[in-house]
């Protein structure tokens, strides 16, 4: 039981802690404040609750891709499309040209490689860029090296590397990595894809790739997968299953040196 004296002491500590935190927040010195255009983009980011699905430097939601370095990866045409008609699970926002320009300015000024890299799920960033980026680099290296199974085959399974590579590309151009994490279930419950080929039969896997699993929260793939795409993606998932141990080790090694300068992060510019 807390005595009245201890309760007063605890309350005093809490009030003091709040005061110290407040002082640190409002004394934050920002040597590179956002421009007017970027502040307008930040207002849109906040108004549309973008942080519910997206992250900056690992802070935010997990449903959509991390946008830390989106300005370096997404060209203007693609950005306009994303902010007007949406893509996959991202709803159409119907942004005007001025709003799109403001959001582009915000993303551009938040893209600061000197601070560090976020948990990227697109592109080919450098080492230490997060699990998804490291996973993609590990797969690229494995495909580029050929394999333990000899020239033209993957992982000793006799798979055609070209078909596996096509499946990997089909995976990358769709928002699969927005929900699925490498070698583990994601926080939103999406399963480990490296186990999919083993847990689902061929017919079930093909049906999931064609129709999704809406009742379990997985929408149909966008853009849709045709017969050739599904065959290639199946080959890629079989490749992941056959080489899971090696690819997981390579992914962990590439992500081990992830660097982030927390002290330079402009926290109060985007929450």
pLDDT tens-place string over residues 112-122: 776 666 654 44
Say if 125 falls within a structural domain: no
**150 and 194 share one domain:** yes
**249 and 137 share one domain:** yes
Reply yes or no on whether the pLDDT at 111 is more than 80. Answer: yes
Which tops the pLDDT comparison, 71 or 239?
239
The residue out of 119, 151, 181 marking a domain boundary is 119
- Structural domain of 109: 35-119
Least confident of 13-17, 83-87, 244-248, 261-265: 261-265
Q: Residue 96: which pLDDT band, with cuts at 50, 70 and 90?
A: very high
Segment 168-176 shows an average pLDDT of 80
Which tops the pLDDT comparison, 100 or 173?
100
| pLDDT on residue 150 | 38
**112 and 145 share one domain:** no
Quote the number of domains for the chain. 2
**150 and 40 share one domain:** no
What secondary structure does DSSP assign to 148-195, as a single string?
TT-TT-STTTT--HHHHHHHHHHHHTTGGGGTPBTTB--TT----GGG
Distance CA 94, CA 82 (A): 9
Residues 6+ apart with CB under 8 A from 270: 42, 45, 51, 56, 110
Say if 137 falls within a structural domain: yes
**115 and 206 share one domain:** no
Least confident of 20-29, 159-168, 173-182, 236-245: 20-29
Reply yes or no on whether the pLDDT at 125 is more than 50. Answer: no
Q: Are 131 and 203 in contact (CB under 8 A)?
A: no
Reply yes or no on whether the pLDDT at 139 is more than 70. Answer: yes
Q: Are 135 and 247 in contact (CB under 8 A)?
A: yes
pTM across the whole model: 0.52
| Closest by CA position to 269, among listed 27, 32, 5 | 32
| pLDDT on residue 169 | 87
């Amino acid at each position: 039981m807390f005595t009245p004296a201890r309760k007063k002491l605890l309350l005093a500590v809490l009030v003091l802690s709040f005061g110290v935190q407040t002082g640190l927040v409002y004394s934050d010195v920002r040597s590179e404040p956002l421009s007017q255009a970027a502040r307008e983009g930040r207002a849109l980011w906040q108004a549309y609750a973008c942080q519910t699905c997206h992250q900056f430097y690992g802070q935010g939601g997990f449903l959509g891709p991390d946008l830390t370095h989106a300005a370096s990866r997404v060209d203007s045409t693609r950005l306009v499309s994303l902010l007007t008609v949406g893509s996959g699970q991202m709803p159409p926002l119907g942004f005007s040209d001025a709003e799109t320009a403001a959001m582009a300015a915000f993303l551009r000024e938040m893209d600061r490689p000197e601070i560090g890299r976020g948990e990227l799920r697109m592109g080919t960033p450098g080492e230490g860029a997060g699990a998804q980026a490291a996973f993609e680099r590990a797969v690229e290296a494995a495909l580029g090296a050929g394999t333990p199974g000899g020239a033209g085959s993957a992982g000793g399974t006799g798979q055609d590397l070209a078909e596996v590579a096509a499946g990997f590309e089909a995976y990358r151009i769709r928002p699969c990595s927005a929900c699925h994490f490498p070698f583990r279930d994601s926080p939103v419950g999406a399963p480990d894809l490296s186990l999919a080929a083993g847990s689902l039969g061929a017919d079930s896997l093909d049906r999931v790739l064609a129709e999704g699993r809406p009742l379990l929260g997985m929408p149909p793939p966008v853009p849709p997968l045709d017969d050739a795409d599904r065959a290639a993606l199946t080959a890629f998932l079989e490749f992941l299953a056959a080489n899971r141990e090696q690819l997981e080790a390579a992914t962990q090694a590439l992500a081990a040196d992830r660097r982030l300068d927390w002290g330079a992060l402009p926290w109060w510019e985007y929450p």
